[in-house]
């Protein structure tokens, strides 16, 4: 058989395969989403996310230390307040749970890079991502509260803010407010291409943030659309977003690749709670090999072009990188 091109030639040994790898990654690009809650001395496992916990501020150090030991150096904080109200006041209270967590982490774990999720749904009694006017979220009134939240986070020590609400114009509003407050160097990572997705189910369970009526389809994107995602990404870049995020990850890697071609910011993608829960459940049944699956999920996100990978499996992936299983 005469063949000049034999692709298998480059697959002959592990050394060779590693030499010609097209996708390489680094622990520095992993970000871990973490839940902090009001209260004292509590660590609660999240029922639909086995192996993930909610921590009170006084116990969050346990998690941060484990991450640092594994070589994961950035976290994204989500707050679960004891009380919620119509206008989500705990979101922008300087003594809110995320603000206290930031002050604690900044003091005790200065090596950890602190990012905060900026949204109202964990703080509103109705579970929507903004303030309501009749039965819909009032976009422009919400902007002011998001901006207040971002500034309050920065004041407490957030090094980067990540708005996830999907209101129009929020990046510009937050940029302006941060700049006015003197935080010109705090970057904004925008959840720009965020779809209305059933993959967020376990998160809403974790944060008690499921909307009490309706859904999020008037602000999060319709998953049938791709060009609309480019529109969102371009708008947010124009408004001053420093990093553009695509979310969820696994079913949306086409968007990671497309957005990467359209913007000049770094790209992040978020492997969300439903992706985590599916892997955990199938692994528990003995139907898949958990470690190999999470490696494939991560590598495919990087292969699609992500620069930052936000994942509940950050620690496990860091270990796989150390052991040379990926990377
Ligand atoms: C807040 C927010 C959500 C997630 C991140 N930020 C939930 C939602 O939009 O309903 C989802 C994260 C996950 O599922 O892991 N708006």
CATH topology assigned to domain 25-322: TIM Barrel (3.20.20)
Residue 238 Cα to ligand 1 midpoint, Å, equals 24
Residue 6 DSSP code: -
Question: 18 catalytic, yes or no?
Answer: no
Instruction: For residues 225 and 83, give the distance between their C-alpha atoms in angstroms, rounded to a whole number.
Output: 36
Q: What is the dihedral of CA 207, 134, 220, 209, to 10 degrees?
A: 10
Q: Which one of the listed residues 194, 258, 280, 315 is annotated catalytic?
A: 194
Q: What is the pLDDT of residue 205?
A: 86
Q: pLDDT per position in the chain (327 positions), as tens?
A: 899 999 999 999 999 999 999 999 999 999 999 999 999 999 999 999 999 999 999 999 999 999 999 999 999 999 999 999 999 999 999 999 999 999 999 999 999 999 999 999 999 999 999 999 988 999 999 999 999 999 999 999 999 999 999 999 999 999 999 999 999 999 999 999 999 999 999 999 899 899 999 999 999 999 999 999 999 999 999 999 999 999 999 999 999 999 999 999 999 999 999 999 999 999 999 999 999 999 999 999 999 999 999 999 999 999 999 999 998
User: Which residue lies with its CA nearest to atom 10 of ligand 1?
Assistant: 200
Question: 194 catalytic, yes or no?
Answer: yes
Residue 184 Cα to ligand 1 midpoint, Å, equals 26
Residue 201 Cα to ligand 1 midpoint, Å, equals 9
The dihedral sign for the CA sequence 209, 172, 240, 167: positive
Q: Which one of the listed residues 84, 247, 258, 260 is annotated catalytic?
A: 247
Q: What is the pLDDT of residue 309?
A: 98
Burial class (CB in 10 A: 0-12, 13-18, 19+), 3: exposed
Q: What is the pLDDT of residue 135?
A: 85
Q: What is the pLDDT of residue 176?
A: 98
Q: What is the pLDDT of residue 234?
A: 98
Residue 171 Cα to ligand 1 midpoint, Å, equals 17
Long-range contacts of 256-263 (CB under 8 A, 24+ apart): 256/301, 256/304, 256/305, 256/306, 257/304, 257/305, 258/226, 258/229, 258/230, 259/192, 259/193, 259/229, 259/230, 259/233, 260/304, 260/305, 260/306, 262/230, 262/233, 262/234, 263/233, 263/234, 263/237
- Tens-digit pLDDT profile for residues 79-125: 999 999 999 999 999 999 999 999 999 999 999 999 999 999 999 99
| Helices (H) then strands (E): counts for the chain | 11, 12
User: Which residue lies with its CA nearest to atom 8 of ligand 1?
Assistant: 200
User: Which residue lies with its CA nearest to atom 6 of ligand 1?
Assistant: 164
Report domain extents, the chain: 25-322
The answer, as to whether pTM is greater than 0.85, is yes
- Tens-digit pLDDT profile for residues 227-262: 999 999 999 999 999 999 999 999 999 999 999 999
Q: What is the pLDDT of residue 143?
A: 98
Residues with CB under 6 A from ligand 1: 117, 119, 121, 129, 164, 200, 203-204, 272-273
């Amino acid at each position: 058989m005469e063949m000049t091109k034999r692709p298998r030639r480059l697959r002959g040994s592990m050394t060779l395969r590693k030499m010609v790898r097209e996708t390489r990654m680094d622990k520095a690009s992993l970000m871990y989403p973490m839940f902090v809650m009001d209260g004292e001395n509590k660590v609660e496992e999240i029922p639909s996310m086995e192996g993930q916990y909610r921590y009170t501020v006084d116990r969050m150090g346990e998690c941060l230390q484990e991450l640092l030991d594994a070589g994961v150096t950035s976290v994204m904080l989500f707050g679960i307040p004891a009380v919620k109200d119509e206008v989500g006041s705990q979101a922008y209270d300087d003594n809110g749970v995320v603000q206290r967590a930031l002050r604690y982490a900044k003091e005790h774990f200065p090596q950890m890079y602190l990012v905060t999720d900026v949204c109202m749904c964990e703080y509103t009694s109705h579970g929507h991502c903004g303030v309501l006017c009749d039965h819909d979220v009032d976009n422009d009134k919400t902007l002011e509260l998001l901006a207040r939240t971002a500034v309050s986070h920065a004041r407490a020590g957030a090094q980067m803010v990540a708005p996830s609400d999907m209101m129009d114009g929020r990046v510009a509003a937050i940029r302006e407010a941060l700049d006015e407050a003197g935080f010109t160097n705090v970057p904004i990572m925008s959840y720009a291409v965020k779809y209305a997705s059933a993959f967020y189910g376990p998160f809403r369970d974790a944060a008690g943030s499921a909307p009490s009526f309706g859904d999020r389809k008037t602000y999060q994107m319709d998953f049938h659309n791709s060009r609309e995602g480019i529109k969102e990404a371009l708008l947010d870049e124009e408004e001053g977003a420093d990093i553009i995020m695509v979310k969820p990850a696994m079913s949306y890697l086409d968007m990671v690749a497309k957005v990467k071609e359209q913007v000049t910011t770094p790209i992040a993608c978020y492997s969300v709670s439903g992706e985590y829960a599916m892997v955990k459940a199938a692994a528990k049944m003995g139907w898949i090999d958990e470690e190999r699956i999470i490696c494939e999920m991560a590598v495919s996100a990087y292969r699609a072009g992500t620069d930052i990978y936000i994942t509940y499996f950050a620690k496990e992936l860091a270990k796989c990188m150390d052991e040379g299983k990926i990377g």
